[in-house]
C-alpha cells in the first residue's frame, strides 16, 4: 500500500465544513496535508442517484424534531474593540487576529476552513474561555444548509440523554452581518492530526479498540435518531483533550511517539448530516470513505456510515487511508483487490454507475500515449466471462499505467493490516479461547466493509463483536 495520500484532483470542490486535520483542535496546527499532499474534501464527482439502497429493518418511529432555538443576543461589552466587517467575493469572512465578532468574541486564530465555513479560535469575553466559532459563508444556500445543521445538532442535544452520540457541544448560535455563527466547545486535535504528528505510525491496539467502540456507539445513537452523519473521517473525530504524553523514539526513528492522555472523542461537522425522511443528495462522504452503493448510484442510507467507520478503523490501525484515489472506477477496482469481487447482485442493481461496468461485446482497451495498456506490464489477466456487463470495466477502463499500478499495489485486508499495523495488534496472542486481535479485527472489518448495504453489520451488532472482548 502506498505510503502517503494522493493529491486532490484539479477542480474537485471543497467540503461542506471546516477543513480537516486541525479543525476545532489545536490552534496554529499545521494543515491537514500529508507529506506535502492535500487530502481531498467532499466532491461532486461520482455516480448520480439511483434506486434506494437495500434497507435495514425499519428504524424506530421518528420523533418530532424540536424547533431550532432562537439565535442568541448579547449585551454590549466594554470596551468596544475593532470589529471584523468585510467578506471576500465568495462570502467568507475577512478578518485579522485580534479583531472581533460582535463585542463578545475576540478572534485568536484559525482552526480550519472549507467550502461551507471557517472555524475560528475565539476568546469569549462573557465566559472567560476559549471557544470554536464556526462562521458560515454569507451565501443563501450555505445559510440554508447551516440551518439544517443546527436542526440536526439540536435533535441530538434534545434526545441523546445518555451522551452516547458523542457529538460536539453546540453552546449557542447567532446571525451576524449575514453569517450564521455557531459557538462550540473547544476540543483537542483530530485523530488525523495525531496520525500526522506521529509520522503516520498507527495507533496501538488499546487505542484502536477504544476509538472503534466509541465511533460505533456514536453512529448507533445517531441512527436511532434516524440521522446519518454521511461525512465520517479522521478529520471529523476530535479528542476532547489536547494533552498527550511522549514515548522515546522507536528503533529507526528520530521522533518520539505521542500518546493521547485521554481516549475520549467527539464528532464534528454535521453540515451534511441527513435525516432518513429527508432528501438524499446523490453523492455524499469524502472520497476515501465513500461506500460502494454511493459510487454505483444505488442510493444510500444508514449503512454508508458503517462503511466509513470501517475505513477509519483501518486507517487508525495502519496509519494510512485505505482507498487513496480520486476516480470512481479505480476506487471500485481497489475495493475488489482488498475485499474480493463485487457481487453480481450489486452490479446488476447498479444505477447511473452502469458506465463503470464492461459494455456488451468485446471490451475496449484503453490506450496510453499511443500504446495499449495491456502491453505496458501485462496487467490484463485473461478473457472476461460471457456476461461482461456484470464485471467492472477494469483494467480496460483504467486511465493509464499509473492507475493500474496503484490498484496492483493493493493487497487483501488481513495482510494489509498485518504489514502496517502496530506490533501490539499484530503480535498479541489469543486468549480465553478467542482468536488473536488481528484476526478478530479483520473479521469485524470484513463485516463493516460488506459490499451489499443490506448485509453490512449494524453498529449495535458490531459492538457485540469479539474484537471488543478483552
Active site residues: 231
Got the DSSP string for 28-90? T---S-BTTBPPP---S-S----SPPPP-SPPPPPPPPPPPPPPP-----SS---B--EE-TT
For CA atoms 400, 405, 408, 410, give the dihedral sign.
negative
Question: 363: which 3 cell numbers?
Answer: 471490451
Of 7, 56, 8, nearest to 305 by C-alpha is 56
Helices (H), 167-298: 191-197, 205-224, 292-295
Torsion of CA 72, 76, 79, 81, to 10 degrees: 60
The H-or-E segment that residue 112 falls in is strand 105-113
313: enclosing H helix or E strand: helix 303-318
Alpha carbon distances (Å) from 434 to 51, 313, 449, 465, 466:
41, 20, 22, 11, 8
Spatial separation of the C-alpha atoms in residues 116 and 135, rounded to whole Å = 9
Residues 220 and 335: beta-carbon distance below 8 Å: no
**Grid coordinates standing for 39?**
487530502
In this structure, what C-alpha cell is assigned to residue 36?
Answer: 506535502
> What angle is formed at CA 162 by the lines to CA 219 and CA 464, rounded to 5 degrees?
50
Q: Of 453, 470, 469, 464, nearest to 217 (Cα)?
A: 464
Q: Is the Cβ–Cβ distance between 333 and 380 less than 8 Å? A: no
Answer whether 39's CB lies under 8 Å from 33's CB: yes
**Residue whose C-alpha cell is 484515489:** 325
Report the alpha-carbon distance of residue 182 to residue 175 in Å, rounded: 9
Q: Which cell numbers in the block locate residue 221?
A: 445513537
Place of cell 507529506: 35
Are the CB atoms for 229 and 219 separated by under 8 Å?
yes
Terminal C-alpha separation, the chain:
30
Amino acid at each position: 500500500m502506498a505510503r502517503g495520500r494522493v493529491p486532490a484532483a484539479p477542480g474537485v470542490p471543497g467540503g461542506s465544513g471546516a477543513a480537516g486535520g486541525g479543525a476545532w483542535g489545536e490552534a496554529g496546527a499545521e494543515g491537514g496535508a500529508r507529506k506535502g499532499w492535500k487530502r481531498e474534501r467532499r466532491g461532486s464527482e461520482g455516480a448520480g442517484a439511483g434506486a434506494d439502497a437495500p434497507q435495514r429493518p425499519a428504524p424506530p418511529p421518528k420523533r418530532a424534531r424540536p424547533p431550532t432555538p432562537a439565535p442568541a443576543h448579547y449585551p454590549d461589552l466594554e470596551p468596544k474593540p475593532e470589529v471584523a466587517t468585510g467578506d471576500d467575493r465568495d462570502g467568507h469572512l475577512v478578518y485579522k487576529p485580534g479583531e472581533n465578532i460582535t463585542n463578545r468574541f475576540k478572534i485568536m486564530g484559525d482552526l480550519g476552513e472549507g467550502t461551507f465555513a471557517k472555524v475560528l479560535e475565539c476568546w469569549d469575553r462573557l465566559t472567560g474561555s476559549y471557544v470554536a466559532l464556526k462562521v458560515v459563508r454569507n451565501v443563501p444556500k450555505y445559510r440554508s444548509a447551516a440551518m439544517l445543521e443546527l436542526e440536526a445538532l439540536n435533535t441530538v442535544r434534545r434526545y441523546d440523554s445518555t451522551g452516547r452520540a458523542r457529538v460536539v457541544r453546540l453552546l449557542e448560535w447567532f446571525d451576524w452581518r449575514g453569517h450564521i455563527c455557531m459557538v462550540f466547545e473547544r476540543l483537542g486535535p483530530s485523530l488525523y492530526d495525531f496520525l500526522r504528528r506521529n509520522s503516520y505510525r498507527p495507533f496501538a491496539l488499546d487505542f484502536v479498540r477504544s476509538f472503534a467502540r466509541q465511533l460505533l456507539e456514536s453512529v448507533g445513537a445517531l441512527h436511532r435518531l434516524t440521522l446519518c452523519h454521511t461525512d465520517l473521517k479522521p478529520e471529523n473525530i476530535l479528542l476532547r483533550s489536547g494533552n498527550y504524553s511522549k514515548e522515546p523514539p522507536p528503533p529507526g526513528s528520530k521522533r518520539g511517539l505521542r500518546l493521547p492522555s485521554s481516549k475520549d472523542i467527539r464528532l464534528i461537522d454535521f453540515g451534511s448530516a441527513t435525516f432518513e425522511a429527508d432528501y438524499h443528495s446523490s453523492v455524499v462522504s469524502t472520497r476515501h470513505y465513500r461506500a460502494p452503493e454511493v459510487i454505483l448510484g444505488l442510493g444510500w442510507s444508514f449503512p454508508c456510515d458503517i462503511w466509513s467507520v470501517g475505513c477509519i478503523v483501518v486507517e487508525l490501525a495502519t496509519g494510512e487511508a485505505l482507498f487513496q484515489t480520486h476516480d470512481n472506477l479505480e476506487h471500485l477496482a481497489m475495493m475488489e483487490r482488498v475485499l474480493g469481487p463485487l457481487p453480481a447482485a450489486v452490479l446488476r442493481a447498479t444505477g447511473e454507475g452502469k458506465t463503470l461496468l464492461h459494455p456488451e461485446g468485446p471490451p475496449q482497451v484503453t490506450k496510453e500515449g499511443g500504446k495499449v495498456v495491456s502491453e505496458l506490464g501485462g496487467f490484463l489477466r485473461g478473457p472476461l466471462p460471457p456476461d461482461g456487463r456484470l464485471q467492472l470495466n477494469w483494467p480496460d477502463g483504467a486511465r493509464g499505467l499509473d492507475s493500474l499500478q496503484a490498484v496492483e499495489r493493493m493487497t487483501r485486508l488481513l495482510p494489509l493490516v498485518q504489514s502496517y499495523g502496530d506490533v501490539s495488534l499484530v503480535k498479541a496472542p489469543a486468549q480465553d479461547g478467542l482468536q488473536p486481535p488481528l484476526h478478530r479485527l479483520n473479521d469485524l472489518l470484513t463485516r463493516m466493509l460488506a459490499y451489499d448495504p443490506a448485509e453490512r453489520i449494524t453498529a449495535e451488532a458490531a459492538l457485540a463483536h469479539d474484537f471488543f472482548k478483552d
